[in-house]
Structure 1
């Protein structure tokens, strides 16, 4: 094996990806499986898990899945234990699951959207947005650490968003504070867990074409609003994120912890 291959070697790693049945999470699962890792996908979408397993397995990747809601704490603890028992431990966890909590107060065309106005947001919608986009990260990290700390090693990679750094009027209101809190949590966990050999980093994607918000970025009108923010004239494809995901899970990223790594085609620069 060459020095370059050694730098990015993830063979035989035990990996969990939450929200791994589609979008960015699936991209994480694909690149890790392609590198020889043993990947378990957690997702609430059982059909999506089965489809993803079939397609990754057809390329020779080692992947399986557990249907679980990341907001169900007892079920999450059980799922982590299943992976640890099957793989003999857990090396890398991608805390990726997330949802669009509803419409923003403006449409992509800049018109007021009554459904996204603060006085009209259903409390249950707010609570679910915080539960999935923030609290589930806490649950995921907590369970990962139970298995990593005794081994003295581990990598935790959290999917945040550039929405953590800005206020975005066409995105549901709870999304920005949830992701901002995720950033602080990642840095705090890096401080706490570094002494145990556990690295904690966050990926901050800009707009990517995924199924979030019903896949609205496949819609030409919605996509145009985000393309206008990019310095390179396009929004992200999930293939664009695979290299960064591999870096943070491999020896090449061994000196990185507490990092918030932006991958957005320059959108954040333009918006700020």
Structure 2
């Protein structure tokens, strides 16, 4: 094979990959975008050429992030919004869709872990605090539903779109490392995703979920991550470590792109084999 043949083959491969994963100029909205997995997802979308609306409650960090991303060529806007407020979510999504003449992809990512739990005793059923339960359910389940509803309302008339929800492996099995409210919210949102996928399929809107395992993010709040706590998580993972937020980007791009055109109603674990281990036990 000549160098010219290699060049033609390389160009064809590049063109194919570019076409299959092309999200340039699409409008992508990401909730919980100021940190953690939301930030990584938003960065992946910006770097792939999408126009991105960043949504979060943290106004200061959100503004800094928008400024950082804006220098990469895409159009990046931001909106401060509490996803637990249905009216605010509807207004935010509608305004963002109007600004970009539609909404192509919505990452429903905002979530909270619940009150800090420092030991197994505090995670017992008798210790569940109802105010904490309601707060977690309000953000992780009702907040996700609010965002999905708002996204569907602007996507359905156009008969196209993708809704990608951040669930958790804690929603797919019992998990002694997290609290009741978090497990309940993530288990419920998995079935909401499946229900929405059936509902929206006739309008060619794909609805899928990403189910992360343990990632190195700040979702646990201000409690510092220690080598001991990370080692505890690592022992639950066949790959032997927690994941970095960067490792969510590939799946996020797949689900946002034409490469996932025949995928809907699915839940995709990103967990280093943790679920496989639990099924083997």
TM-score, structure 2 normalization: 0.90
Q: Within 1, Cα distance between the matches of 2:75 and 2:178?
A: 36
Q: Which runs of 5+ in 1 are unaligned?
A: none
Are residues 1:36 and 2:43 paired? no
Q: Is the contact made by 2:46 and 2:72 (CA closer than 8 Å) also made in structure 1?
A: no
Are residues 1:77 and 2:84 paired? no
Equivalent residue, structure 1, for 2:207: 200
Q: How many residues align?
A: 266
Equivalent residue, structure 2, for 1:157: 164
Are residues 1:254 and 2:261 paired? yes
Q: Is the contact made by 1:164 and 1:179 (CA closer than 8 Å) also made in structure 2?
A: yes
Q: Is the contact made by 2:93 and 2:150 (CA closer than 8 Å) also made in structure 1?
A: yes
Equivalent residue, structure 2, for 1:189: 196
- Deviation at 1:102? 2.3
Q: For 1:131-154, what per-residue CA distance to the aligned partner results, in whole angstroms no more than 9, with x for missing partners?
A: 111111111111001100000100
**Structure 2 CA distance for partners of 1:215 and 1:250, relative to 1, 3 Å:** farther
Q: Which moved more, 1:240-249 or 1:168-177?
A: 168-177
Report SS of the residue matched to 2:252. helix
Q: For the pair shown, which has the larger CA radius of gyration, 1 or 2?
A: 2
Equivalent residue, structure 2, for 1:89: 102
Q: Which runs of 5+ in 2 are unaligned?
A: 1-13
- Deviation at 1:49? 0.4
| C-alpha RMSD over aligned residues | 1.5
Are residues 1:213 and 2:238 paired? no
Q: Within 2, Cα distance between the matches of 1:160 and 1:215?
A: 22
Q: Which moved more, 1:246-255 or 1:165-174?
A: 165-174
Equivalent residue, structure 2, for 1:13: 26
Q: Within 2, Cα distance between the matches of 1:3 and 1:41?
A: 29
Are residues 1:228 and 2:242 paired? no
Report SS of the residue matched to 1:236. coil
* Matches for 1:107-126 after TM superposition, within 5 Å: 107=119, 112-114=120-122, 116-126=123-133
Q: Within 1, Cα distance between the matches of 2:197 and 2:177?
A: 32
